[in-house]
A and B are shown apart, each in its own frame.
Chain A
Amino acid sequence: MTVAQLPPVVAAPQANRRRWPKPTLLIGLALLLLLLVAALVPKVLAPFSPTDFDYEAILQAPTSKHPFGTDNFGRDVLSRVIYGTRIDLQIALFTTLFPFLFGTLLGAVTGYLGRWSDALVGRLADLVVVFPFLVLVIAIVAVLGPGLTNMYIAVSAVGWVSYWRLTRGEVMTQKKAEYAQAGRVLGYSPSRILFRHLLPNSVTPAIVYLMTDMSLGILLGASLGYLGLGAQPPTPEWGVMVADGKNFMATAWWISTFPGLALTLAGVTFSLIGDGLADALRPRA
């Protein structure tokens, strides 16, 4: 019997069925696009400058001229919210990207190597999580001094632990899968098995968490701004704006409310994307 006589192989039935992204992902991406436009070209959208004082129009309720009203310096709240997008997206990105990269990489390596490297990093992680997240970040910023850069450093020093946990656990599961063992039997090097095979199959939870974490990052930036440890006035930052408006809550609710809504919108955007990505990144089976 020769190979030519091998029975014909039927084509797999589901071969060419494409999977469309879920609507949540599409909505999330549309909202993100809106946020990006606001962040990159705020001039186009904003009717006024975010920092110009207008003492003629202090604490005005929403009107057709100032749809979100004005604050105690007469600044247009809509414009400030729009200009705030850039700084808040930046905060969302920088408070999560470094922890994500660092934590995921470390998680992959220690999850794969195990033994002492894993134990060592595990102790370190325990040390970090003993303290409440915010308390630790505040403590570090207090030592380094206020400002966005120091805030990023502080958050990165603490935030990697979650990513490390997620990726480490996933890699430890995946390395028992037969395709990983097959890689060893095929004589592949450990780094190839780890980075080419295990990591792509293990990184999904971390990416999904990254999206949730971005909304948390904005809130964190807001909290720190509120405490005066993050973005410094007069930078239009949503958290700082919420904090500034709180004294006027009873008389001028719009000052805090609209930046608060913007925060929520950004949070929802990231959650939708995270949810959609989780689905899209799942390997088909």
Chain B
Amino acid sequence: MILTKTREPALMEIHGLTKTFPVRQSLLSRWRGQPVRKVQALTDVHLSVQRGETLGIVGESGCGKSTLARTLVRLYDADSGEVRYEQLDVLGLRGAALRQYNRRVQMIFQDPYSSLNPRMTVGQVLREALSVHKMRPPETQDARVQELLALVGLPPQAAGRLPHEFSGGQRQRIGIARALALEPECLIADELVSALDVSVQAQVVNLLLELQERLGLTVLFVAHDLRLVRHLSHRVAVMYLGRVVEVASTEAMFTQPKHPYTQALLAAAPTLDPSRRTAAPAITGELPSPLNVPSGCAFRTRCPHAFDRCAVERPALRTVSQNGGSGQEVACHLYDPASDPARALTSGLQPLPAQVPQ
């Protein structure tokens, strides 16, 4: 099953991960025998995460970023596919083994308001995490709580307070402290700072950078803010309608995007330079409904380069260059040597103005 990679063994390997959500149907349509409709949230996702790296995952809303994050920590059950974490078969874990895995792979949630129990003080929240996993003997737990608060830059008195007494940025720090209480190896951060103001965002981002450095964490950084992902990630994966369409080193992704969607996405992101304005939008058309994903390449309804093969065959993720050492993988027929040679480009596609957000 597992594709053999020549690189050093990855910390986490995701193969062919697929997840659908059935749509609630009226009794009438069920009685009429209409087929059950499904939201195609993840389709045949392949990814690997190296130990110690930050892998950015970007894409527009509804493209499956959160579903991927939640499936990896087993909040959702995948339809099919495989996830390997070191030797563990993650999707097969049960009971205590699953709880042990969850200790090692922690997730931080997007919404700093709803991800904390409104009735527990910060101290109770942290102590609970410590005692459930027996991270510390009871008599040293209070000291550890103080250490954790200091680690995320919260004052010692914070332990006695309830979540509603904190600002959004502070709550996000509490969420980070709770995850760190379990001394995880891997953090999955889903839109960690999206709900925060820019000035506060930077505080939390710095905290994450520093902790990662200090504790050697592997981070999956899920976000829609390209500027932030570019700043933080070693490698980036771009998703579109439940599929990974391009994976590359940050450098390669932002300077030589290869997939037509990546190019459009980068061009659409507003840059901070007022003198670089364009009159025409980077890309026209709307995201298709995830209930009705186009056949073949999901992007073909908006792609300026679509050709006949795109409608019939789903392009697989293939390595197209060794950019940045780790290889640049793209799922697009343009880069397939087997395509019509007139269309296929083996490298260096620059059909769209490769305007790159800074």
The number of chain A residues touching the other chain, given as a range, is 20 to 34
A-contacting 9-mer, from B17-25, B101-109, B273-281, B294-302: B101-109
Assess A187 versus B100: contact at CB under 8 Å? Given A3-B153, A6-B203, A11-B155. Answer: yes
How far apart are the CA atoms of A181 and B132 in the complex, in Å?
16
Assess A284 versus B164: contact at CB under 8 Å? Given A3-B153, A184-B102. Answer: yes
B12 to chain A, nearest CB (A): 15
How far apart are the CA atoms of A182 and B181 in the complex, in Å?
13
* Cβ-defined contact, A201 with B129, below 8 A: no
A259 to chain B, nearest CB (A): 41
One of A9, A14, A196, A197 near B153 (C-beta < 8 A): A9
- Which residues 1-51 of A have a CB within 8 angstroms of B? 1-3, 6-7, 9-12, 14-15
Residues of A within 8 A of B102 (CB): 184-187
Assess A9 versus B210: contact at CB under 8 Å? Given A15-B165, A187-B133. Answer: no
A195 to chain B, nearest CB (A): 12
A19 to chain B, nearest CB (A): 11
Whether B316 is near chain A, meaning CB under 8 Å from some CB there, is no
- Which residues 249-285 of A have a CB within 8 angstroms of B? 283-285
Whether A188 is near chain B, meaning CB under 8 Å from some CB there, is yes
Secondary structure dominating the interface of A: loop
* Cβ-defined contact, B115 with A186, below 8 A: no
Residues of B within 8 A of A189 (CB): 99, 132
A114 to chain B, nearest CB (A): 14
A-contacting 9-mer, from B116-124, B225-233, B242-250, B259-267: B116-124
How far apart are the CA atoms of A197 and B124 in the complex, in Å?
12
One of B100, B115, B153, B170 near A182 (C-beta < 8 A): B115
Whether B151 is near chain A, meaning CB under 8 Å from some CB there, is yes
B193 to chain A, nearest CB (A): 15
Residues of A within 8 A of B107 (CB): 182, 185
Residues of A within 8 A of B78 (CB): none
* Minimal Cβ-Cβ distance residue in B for A201: B119
How far apart are the CA atoms of A179 and B178 in the complex, in Å?
11
How far apart are the CA atoms of A284 and B166 in the complex, in Å?
12
How far apart are the CA atoms of A9 and B170 in the complex, in Å?
8
Residues of B within 8 A of A14 (CB): 164-165
B261 to chain A, nearest CB (A): 30
Residues of B within 8 A of A182 (CB): 107, 109, 115-116, 175, 178
* Cβ-defined contact, A179 with B155, below 8 A: no
* Cβ-defined contact, B115 with A3, below 8 A: no
One of A9, A184, A196, A285 near B118 (C-beta < 8 A): A285
Residues of A within 8 A of B115 (CB): 178-179, 181-182
Closest A-B pairs by Cβ, 6 of them? A187-B99, A283-B118, A6-B153, A187-B102, A178-B115, A178-B114
**In the complex, given contacts A9-B173, A179-B115, A184-B75, what are 20 additional A-B residue pairs having Cβ atoms less than 8 angstroms apart?**
A3-B150, A3-B210, A6-B206, A7-B153, A9-B153, A9-B170, A15-B165, A178-B111, A179-B116, A181-B75, A182-B109, A182-B115, A182-B175, A185-B73, A185-B102, A186-B129, A189-B132, A197-B117, A200-B119, A201-B118
Q: B residues within 8 Å of A by Cβ?
A: 70, 73-75, 98-103, 106-107, 109-111, 113-120, 128-129, 132-133, 150-151, 153-155, 161-162, 164-167, 170, 173, 175, 178-179, 182, 203, 206-207, 210
